[in-house]
Copies of this chain bind each other. A is one copy, B any other.
Amino acid sequence: MPKPTIEQLVDGVRDADRRSIAQAITLVESVRAEDDERSQRLLEALAPHACDARRIGISGIPGAGKSTLIEALGMHAIGAGHRIAVLAVDPTSALSGGSILGDKTRMEKLSREDAAYIRPSAGGGQLGGVAPRTREAMLILEAAGFDTVFVETIGIGQSEAAVRDLVDTFALLTITGAGDDLQGIKRGVLELADLIFVTKADGDNEAAATAAATELRSAMHILRSSHGSGCPEVVTCSATTGAGMPEVWNAIVAHHDGLKTDGALDSLRTEQDLRWLDRRIDEMLRRRFLGSHVEAMEKAREAVRRGELVASVARRVLEAT
């Protein structure tokens, strides 16, 4: 099958054609030199058409139920007329992928909806990192008209700060019943959070969830008042029963509206773009250097294999070029 032209991809993405979206994301995620020019043309053609989406990060420890929450929340939002995209930054095993107890079908209901698009892994095999092109993948989804983009950071080993740098609203999902919830959440992660959702607030666990939410509210009050930033809203919910989904969605919308009203959204995104510029330049510098110093790098690797000090070898390579 011939490669689609850039014009075909642009039209396909703007029509929200699923196959075109998938091909477009694959193209912009490519780090092969021969894809550079097509990737660039595609992004430039789509950028003016990107809708003004909410970008929401959902974080939490493994087992907190991030996928279940996103499914329940996504179904609620679709019911309210929104179009939902999910980028899952999955620390997929380089060896075989998936979770230890077999691959549960994740977000099964949401994935069947026309108004939803799920990109299962944007991790590109990087355990614990954000793929070098996640921000570009987000642009494709926004050009396809998805007005809400969730970035799910799955499990241990994720760089929460890197995801914080991709989204407008960073939500932390936590569960009760694990005994020492609050101790389990590091201050550094709490300080990143704009919203906190306490899930599994159902059945026997409802009272515990409410108590945990109260405790979190007062902890956040102490934590934030010391440096003047706003206090994140804490919302209890249950992805299983659907309880609290409207409240969770409203909290997201309210946070985002707040960012727009006071101009904070524009400056936040500009700051993020400036850091993204640094990342892109790093990546391009590396590729250019490796491409044009094949022999010097081979010698450097030989020196490291012989046991020379890495810091010295690196310095020598750079000084000789």
Residues of A whose CB lies within 8 Å of any CB of B are 36, 39-40, 43-44, 47, 59, 61-63, 91-101, 126-129, 135-136, 154-162, 177-180, 182-192, 219, 223, 226-227, 270, 273-274, 276-278, 280-282, 284-286, 288-289, 300-301, 304-305, 309-315, 317-318
Smallest CB-CB separation from A129: which chain B residue?
A: B159
Q: Check A304 against B274 for contact (C-beta < 8 Å).
A: yes
Which residue of B96, B179, B274 is within 8 Å of A226 (Cβ)? B96
- Complex Cα distance, B315 from A134, in Å, reads 17
Residue in A96, A162, A178, A277 with the greatest tally of chain B CB atoms within 10 Å: A277
Contact B156 A161 (CB under 8 A): no
Interface pair B277/A282, CB less than 8 Å apart: no
Which applies to chain A's interface (DSSP): helix, strand, loop or mixed?
A: helix
A173 to chain B, nearest CB (A): 11
- Say whether B188 contacts A92, CB under 8 Å: yes
> In the complex, A136→B177 CA distance in Å?
41
Pair B284/A318 contact, Cβ less than 8 Å? yes
Closest to A184 in B: B63
User: What is the CA–CA distance of A180 and B104 in the complex, to the nearest angstrom?
Assistant: 15
| In-complex Cβ contact of A159 among B61, B96, B127, B278 (8 A) | B127
* A158 engages B161 (CB within 8 Å): no
Contact at B305–A270, with CB atoms within 8 Å?
yes
